[in-house]
């Protein structure tokens, strides 16, 4: 087991060693770390729903009615009426014929991609797609072509040369998780039709947030019919847990029969399903939370840009603050925490070499005072480290 010491020491030398930061208490716009209250700017709980009283109540009621565990996988005896209700709700929310739950967004991507594609097929994947997409592609055994980030011409060049493959799958994040920019979906839909490719969009960061009704990037671009496979997660803006795929009935029927990460695992527990149901109700009911989120996003972005930080073309609630060097990224994150703002540094392999950054995420529940305080901390640390 000596290799472990060697690898850990190397990670430390490279500024790539990672440690868990423990949140004392619940998730909110402010959290406690090491006995101190700090502003949380690293959570995907964009609408603050993870601790919403209505959702907590729904989870508690579900435990009282249904118990804690589901006891089996979906195809054995773990399909409860709540799972069916949530799948129907997701389909109606996403305006698709049907939907299927997975135990996380990660396992959704693994299951879908590896069951849709195999040897003899080809997958075109944006270079900055999430790790779970990459893992799904690798697991499938299909030929993988990674096109430069959002480069439609490069994607078309690949597609032009793909006639020898059985199936073609284009897969892209809707909102890119570490860069916060939006995929050029209109152009991608056009190419998928032109070259008879299946199109899959991972809307993990757009669900609940993008589009007039929070239905995601499809709604945002007015492309409800153009996307064959809509994947998402209930663990970010929905504030609960679990992943899903929405699409045509036959796709869902196929996944029930073929997606191994759906088949061979115990289903999500009732409390989690009830939380998701209550959260989607809130998301569907009104845009107040989305309005607050976008106000906060603009205010924080303007503040960071005015100070001279490079926010790398963010177009969403995910705001990368470019640092570059791994060690400096860690240092800045630590200094910000001392100043009262919790912002995680993101380093390779999550982002490319030389592109380390602080990944700032805004929540609807941050107050103006929270954001003002965060900006003050950024100014102080950015100046000290000569980043601005």
Ligand X SMILES: Cc1ncc(COP(=O)(O)O)c(C=O)c1O
Residues that bind ligand X (CB under 6 A): 104-106, 109, 130, 132, 173, 177, 202, 204-205, 233, 235, 243
Q: In this structure, how many other beta carbons lie within 10 angstroms of the beta carbon of residue 103? A: 20
CB 55 within 8 A of CB 62: no
Closest separation in Å from C-beta 183 to ligand X: 11
Give CA separation, 228 vs 89, 98, 180, in Å: 18, 12, 23
Q: Where are the beta strands (DSSP E) in 73-208?
A: 98-102, 122-126, 143-147, 168-173, 198-202
Tokens representing 361 are: 């995420």
DSSP secondary structure letter of residue 385: T
**Of 130 and 168, CB closest to ligand X:** 130
CA dist., res. 308 & res. 182, Å (int): 23
149 catalytic residue (yes or no)? no
**Of 202 and 370, CB closest to ligand X:** 202
**Of 361 and 381, CB closest to ligand X:** 361
CB 115 within 8 A of CB 243: no
In 3D space, the residue among 238, 225, 167 whose CA is nearest the CA of residue 196 turns out to be 167
Catalytic residue, chosen from 42, 98, 115, 177, is 177
**Of 70 and 107, CB closest to ligand X:** 107
Closest separation in Å from C-beta 154 to ligand X: 21
Closest separation in Å from C-beta 10 to ligand X: 26
CA dist., res. 239 & res. 233, Å (int): 10
Closest separation in Å from C-beta 163 to ligand X: 30
**Of 117 and 373, CB closest to ligand X:** 117
CB 170 within 8 A of CB 188: yes
236 catalytic residue (yes or no)? yes
CB 227 within 8 A of CB 189: yes
Question: In sequence order, which residues have a C-beta less than 8 Å from that of residue 336 and are 6 or more positions away?
Answer: 342, 343, 358, 377, 378, 381
Catalytic residue, chosen from 83, 130, 236, 366, is 236
**Of 70 and 162, CB closest to ligand X:** 70
Give CA separation, 350 vs 63, 326, 361, in Å: 37, 12, 16
Closest separation in Å from C-beta 86 to ligand X: 15
Q: How far apart are the first and last CA of the chain?
A: 44
Closest separation in Å from C-beta 109 to ligand X: 6
Catalytic residue, chosen from 205, 301, 366, 379, is 205
177 catalytic residue (yes or no)? yes
CA 81 to chain centre: 27
Residue nearest to ligand X (CB): 105
CA dist., res. 134 & res. 349, Å (int): 12
**Of 233 and 381, CB closest to ligand X:** 233
Closest separation in Å from C-beta 240 to ligand X: 10
Residues labelled catalytic: 177, 205, 236
């Amino acid at each position: 087991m000596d290799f472990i010491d060697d690898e850990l020491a190397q990670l430390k030398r490279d500024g790539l060693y990672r440690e868990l930061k423990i949140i004392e208490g619940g998730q909110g716009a402010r959290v406690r770390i090491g006995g101190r209250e700090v502003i949380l700017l690293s959570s995907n709980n964009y609408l603050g729903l993870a601790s919403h009283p209505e959702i907590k109540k729904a989870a508690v009621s579900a435990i009282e009615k249904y118990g804690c565990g589901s006891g089996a996988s979906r195809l054995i005896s773990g399909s409860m009426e709540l799972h069916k209700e949530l799948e129907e709700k997701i389909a109606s929310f996403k305006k698709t014929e049907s939907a299927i739950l997975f135990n996380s967004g990660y396992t959704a991507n693994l299951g879908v991609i590896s069951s849709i594609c195999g040897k003899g097929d080809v997958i075109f994947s944006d270079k900055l797609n999430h790790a779970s997409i990459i893992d799904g592609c690798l697991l499938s055994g299909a030929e993988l072509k990674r096109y430069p980030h959002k480069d439609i011409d490069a994607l078309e060049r690949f597609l032009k040369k793909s006639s020898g493959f059985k199936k073609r799958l284009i897969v892209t994040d809707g909102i890119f998780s570490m860069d916060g920019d939006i995929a050029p979906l209109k152009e991608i839909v056009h190419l998928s039709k032109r070259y008879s490719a299946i199109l899959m969009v991972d809307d993990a960061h757009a669900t609940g947030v993008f589009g007039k009704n929070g239905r995601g990037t499809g709604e945002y671009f007015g492309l409800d019919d153009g996307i064959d496979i809509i994947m998402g997660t209930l663990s970010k803006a929905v504030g609960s847990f679990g992943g899903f795929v929405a699409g045509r009935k036959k796709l869902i029927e196929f996944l029930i029969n073929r997606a191994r990460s759906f088949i061979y695992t115990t289903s999500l527990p009732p409390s989690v399903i009830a939380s998701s149901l209550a959260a989607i109700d809130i998301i569907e009911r009104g845009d107040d939370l989305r309005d607050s989120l976008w106000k906060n996003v603009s205010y924080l972005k303007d503040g960071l840009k005015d100070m001279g930080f490079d926010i790398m073309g963010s177009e969403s609630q995910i705001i990368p603050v470019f640092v570059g060097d791994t060690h400096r990224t860690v240092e800045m994150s630590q200094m910000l925490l001392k100043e009262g703002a919790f912002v995680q540094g993101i380093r390779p392999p999550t982002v490319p070499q030389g592109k380390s950054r602080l990944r700032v995420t805004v929540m609807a529940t941050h107050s103006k005072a929270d954001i003002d305080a965060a900006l003050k901390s950024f100014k102080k640390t950015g100046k000290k480290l000569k980043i601005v």
